Amino acid sequence: MRIAFLTAPKGVEQVELTEPWQAALEAGHEPVLVSTEPGEVQAFHHLDKADRFTVDEVVGEVSADSFGGLVLPGGVANPDFLRMNGKAVAFVKEFFELGRPVAAICHAPWTLVEADVVRGRELTSWPSLRTDIRNAGGTWVDEQVKICDHGPNKLVTSRKPGDLKAFCAAFLDVFAEEMTAR
């Protein structure tokens, strides 16, 4: 399955990109780095610059229909930038409209809030997003990983880098179910 990993040009938390990416590769999936601009993505270790990664596809030039699922890594700046980009928000919303599974960790649900896809769903995130999620009609829970199947697709969310092992296992299971269902 082709899995889109959507990031902004800078601000993605490196471990929240690389660990799910590696887990997807090891499970036999094809991870694809999608960004709002061509070139490279600058990752961070919290507030310090980390590695750079080459962008494979650009939002607005690719459709959600060409992917089986979407992973949204966190970092504070990454989802804040994405939610201010109309093409990125539309790309995320398209996964929900198509009924494709989506996984988001840490601050990444900010982009989901902007896409107006959390209403009626239970999800988790970095604790500072709790009020934003509630205001957008979602139910915030403090759990290591939350799988919500409200609506036409499943949403997998986690709180922080410390939850990555559980997050990767959960989204890989959900994405495998999607592959079997197709």
Assess whether 46 carries a catalytic annotation: no
Cα–Cα dist 128/122, whole Å: 16
Residue (of 170, 165, 142) closest to 155 by Cα position: 170
DSSP state string for 11-30: EEEHHHHHHHHHHHHHTT-E
Q: CB of 163 within 8 A of CB of 74?
A: no
User: Residues 29, 45, 46, 107: which is the catalytic one?
Assistant: 107
Total Cβ atoms within 10 A of residue 41: 25
Catalytic residues: 107
